[in-house]
Amino acid sequence: MRTSYYSRFTLIISILMLTRSCNNRQTIEGVLIENVTAIDAKNGMQEQTTILIKANKITKIGSTEDFKDIEVSNTIDGTGKFLIPGLWDTHIHMVYDQDLTPAMFDLFLLYGITSVRDTGGEIDLLTPLKQEADNDTKNTPRLKIAGPLLDGVPTVYNGKGRLPKLGVSVPTISAAREQVLTLQKEGVDILKVYEMLPPEIFTSILKLADSLELPVTGHVPLSMDATEAANLGMRSMEHLRNLEFAFVKNWDSLKISRRTMLENQEQLSGMKLRSNIHDAQRSFAFANENAERKKEVLAALRQNQTWQVPTLTIITVAAERFFDTPEWKETFNLVPDTVGNGWASRLEKYAATPVSPKFREYADWMFKMIAELKAADVKLMAGTDTPIFFLTPGYSLHEELALLVKGGLTPMEALDAATLQPAKYFNMENELGSIEPGMLADLILLEANPLENIRNTTTIQAVIRDGKVHDKIALDQLKKKLENL
Ligand SMILES: [Zn+2]
pLDDT, residue 120, reads 97
Q: Name the amino acid, one letter, at 456.
A: N
Considering just the CA atoms, what is the radius of gyration of the chain in Å?
A: 26
Give the integer Cα–Cα distance in Å for 187 and 184: 5
Distance from residue 41's CA to the centre of ligand 1 (Å) = 26
Ligand 1 center to residue 310 CA distance, Å?
11
Instruction: Calculate how far, in angstroms, residue 102's C-alpha sits from the geometric centre of ligand 1.
Output: 19
For residue 388, is it left (φ>0), alpha (ψ between -120 and 50) or beta?
Answer: beta
Alpha-carbon distance of 460 to 394, in angstroms, equals: 12
Ligand 1 centre distance from Cα of residue 120 (Å): 7
CA of 338 to the centre of ligand 1 (A): 22
How many other C-beta atoms can be found within 10 angstroms of the C-beta atom of residue 29? Answer: 9
Amino acid identity at 163: L
* pLDDT at site 13: 55
With 0-12 CB in 10 A as exposed, 13-18 as middle and 19+ as buried, what is 27? Answer: exposed
State the CB neighbour count (10 A cutoff) for residue 102. Answer: 11
Ligand 1 centre distance from Cα of residue 90 (Å): 10
Distance (Å) from CA 387 to ligand 1 centroid: 9
| CA 88–ligand 1 middle distance (angstroms) | 15
Q: Quick one: pLDDT at residue 180?
A: 98
Ligand 1 center from residue 78 Cα (angstroms): 37
Query: What pLDDT, on the 0 to 100 scale, is given for residue 21?
Result: 46
Split the chain (485 residues) into runs of 10 and give each run's mean pLDDT. Answer: 55 51 74 98 98 98 95 97 98 97 98 98 97 98 98 93 91 98 98 98 98 98 98 98 97 97 88 96 97 98 98 97 92 96 92 94 98 98 97 98 98 98 98 98 98 98 98 98 94
pLDDT of residue 131: 98
Query: Distance from the CA of 45 to the center of ligand 1, in angstroms?
Result: 33
Give the C-alpha separation, 259 to 265, whole Å.
10
Residues paired with 168 in a beta bridge: 150
CA 393–ligand 1 middle distance (angstroms): 13
CA of residue 67 to ligand 1 center, whole Å: 46
What single string gives the DSSP state of each residue in 304-359? TT-EEE--HHHHHHHHH-TTSSHHHHHGGGGS-HHHHHHHHHHHHHHHTSPPPHHH
Query: How many whole angstroms from 391 Cα to the centroid of ligand 1?
Result: 12
> Can you give the pLDDT at residue 232?
97
Distance CA 358, CA 356 (A): 5
Pairing of strands 44-54, 57-62: antiparallel
- 216 by DSSP, 3-state: which? strand
pTM confidence score: 0.94
Rounded to the nearest angstrom, the distance between the alpha carbon of 89 and the centre of ligand 1 is 11
Q: How far is the CA of 280 from the centre of ligand 1 (A)?
A: 22
The Cα 8–Cα 17 span in angstroms is 14
Distance 159 CA to ligand 1 centre (A): 15
CA 239 to centroid of ligand 1, rounded, Å: 8
Say how many Å lie between the CA of residue 17 and the centre of ligand 1. 66
* Class (C level, CATH) for 84-434+472-483: alpha beta
Please report the pLDDT score of residue 4 as a whole number: 56
CA 118 to centroid of ligand 1, rounded, Å: 8
Q: What confidence score (pLDDT) does residue 1 get? A: 44
Q: Please list the residues that pair with 112 across neighbouring strands.
A: none
Output the CA 165–ligand 1 centroid distance in Å: 12
pLDDT at residue number 5: 57
- Per-domain residue ranges of the chain: 84-434+472-483
Q: What does the alpha-carbon distance between residue 136 and residue 312 come to, in Å, rounded to a whole number?
A: 31
